[in-house]
Structures are given as structure tokens and as C-alpha cells.
Amino acid sequence: MNLRHLQHWLALAETGSFSRAAEKLHITQSALSRSIQVLEEDLGGALVDRVGKKNELTPLGQSVLARARRIVHEAQELKQGAALLQQGGLGSLRVGLGSGPGAMLMTPWLCHMAEHHPTVHVSVSRGPTELQLLQLRERQLDALVVDVRRVVIAPDLSIEHIAEMRAGFLCRQGHPILARHSGQVPFDSLLDYPVASTPLSQEVARIMVDHYGPRANPAQLTTVQCEEISSLIDVVRQTNAIFLGIVGAARQGLADGTLVELAMDPPFRGGARLALITLAGRTELPVMAVFREFVSSQLVD
């Protein structure tokens, strides 16, 4: 067995056809058949059942597929990383950011790389944590920064704690609720206005209900919802909606006075547990160290 046999097997499994796989690999169909036969002999069983014009993976084939994909990807990454180190390069990086980290990191990270590492290819994607975890496992992303409470712990994930970010309620300067309450704001007063938030974890929902009772369940409390905090904050600036989320994501508005954090009665103690997530055992390119250091320096409450 060698890496070439595994590459041939992946092409066959992904295309479902000897002819299409051979075309993709730029080899003859007979050469591909011989390669698959050698791999089957090495593994001691059939990887594919040839049923008429169809090719179906056997149970052994299904088992080999996941491992072969991991081995081939890691070999490619190892080769790429070695070449970059020889050339003094950093590589490329594709990161996924949760709603809160995205609001705090995306533009600063892209600016940092454009200014300090202009030859490095970087990309940032946003979206639901569940989708980004799937993309990480499919190696479409290299790393995630998300609220770890929305992640199901699994042995294939490496989770590095970064920071605890405080959450709170914010409104625009001049909001009617500020005129009604010069000091602390009772929770019931929030119910007179729309509440804007990203999707929240079940743990945060429990904290909300423990603090303020059943009416604080985000499923009922939140009336304006999306994954993009920047959009939610724009809504809060332009309307009487109240933002519920990571306070640090609105630091610019708080600094320039266009946004105000509400002092709640009782005080809200919730927050986000942000973590850097990568695939366990995956070879890291040098640029990952740059990203890790940047994230740690930026995510300060």
C-alpha cells in the first residue's frame, strides 16, 4: 500500500465511477483498476462492489474511506508546510468566525494581514457554528473561533480556551428606556421593546431564565435575530430595539457614545466562552501561530 493507491481509491469513492475517476487522475481505466486491486489485496478484502454499471462501497470500503481521506490530506499539508518552511513562507489560512468573534475580529484580522503579511492568502467565513464545524471536518476551514458552548465536544476537535467575554443589554443613546430609568433597569421594562440577538446556546438560555424568570427565555424574548452582530447593532442604532449579546462586539459604539449599556436589576452575569478550534492531529502551517497570537491579543473584555 502507498499514498498513490489511497489517492486513487479516494477518486473512485468520490466519483463513483472508474471512468470518471481515471479521467480525474489522468490515468487509464485499466491502471486505476490495477491500483485498486493492489489496495484490496493489501487490505484483505473488497473495497467496492461492482453491481452492473454501479460501484457501491463495501463496509470495508466505507471504513477505509474516512481514514484514507485523512491520510491523504495530512500528507498534502505536510508537504506544503515543508515547502513553505524551506522558502521562509507562512502558508495560507481559512478561518471561520462565530457571530461575536466575527464582529470583533474579521476586519482587524484582514487589515493586520494585509499590512504585515501581504503575500499570505487569508479568507474568513461567517455562519452558524454547526455548519462551520462541518466545514472544519471537511478541511474547507483550518480553524474556528466560536463560543464553545455551541460545540459538541468530540475527540477529533482540539479546543483551546481564549477568553470569557461578558454579555449584556445595550441600546442607542436617547432610547426611551433611559428616560424611564435613571439607574438600574428592571427586566420587565425590556419587554416593551424589540430584543435583538444572535442564536443563543441552551446554556445561555438557562442562565437567562435563572436570572429573570421564564419570560427571559431567548426563544420568546428575542424578536430580531441573525448571525451577524454588526447588522444587529445597526438595527439598535436606528430603532428602539435592545441588543443582547457580547458587550465587546459593540465597543466602538460604546466608545463614541452612540450606544449605552443598560445597568440591569438584577445585574446580568452571562457571557461567551470563546475558543480556538482546530482538528486534532492536523499539521498546522506557520501562519496559524500568527492567527493564534492575534486572536489572543484582540479578544480582551
What pLDDT digit, counting tens, does each position of 144-200 carry? 999 998 888 899 999 999 998 888 999 999 999 999 988 899 999 999 999 999 888
pLDDT in tens, 106-128: 999 999 999 998 888 899 998 88
Claim to verify: residue 174 and residue 98 sit in the same structural domain? yes
46 and 141 in a single domain? The answer is no
112 and 257: one domain? Answer: yes
Residue 166 and residue 42 share a domain: no
Range of the domain at 77: 3-87
Contact criterion met (CB below 8 Å) for 229 and 197:
no
Instruction: Give the Cα separation of 93 and 102 in Å (integer).
Output: 16
Higher-confidence position of 277 and 69: 277
Does 174 share its domain with 291? Answer: yes
- Mark whether 94 and 144 lie in a shared domain: yes
Given 87, 113, 133, the domain boundary residue is 87
Q: Are residues 97 and 184 in the same domain?
A: yes
Global confidence as pTM:
0.65
- Structurally, the chain folds into a number of domains equal to 2
Same domain, 219 and 287: yes
Output the 3-class SS for 96-148: EECHHHHHHHHHHHHHHHHHHCCCCCEEEEECCHHHHHHHHHCCCCCEEEEEH
Residue 233, domain CATH: 3.40.190.290
Q: b or e along 118-127 (b: 16 or more beta carbons within 10 Å of the residue's beta carbon)?
A: eebebebbbb
Predicted pLDDT of residue 61: 76
Burial of 88 (0-12, 13-18, 19+ CB in 10 A): exposed
Band the pLDDT of 19: cuts 50, 70, 90: confident
Last residue of a domain, one of 87, 115, 135: 87
Does residue 145 share a domain with residue 12?
no
Q: Which of 232, 110, 100, 94 is nearest to 171 (CA)?
A: 232
Same domain (yes/no): 267, 285: yes
CB burial of residue 214 (10 Å; 0-12, 13-18, 19+) = exposed
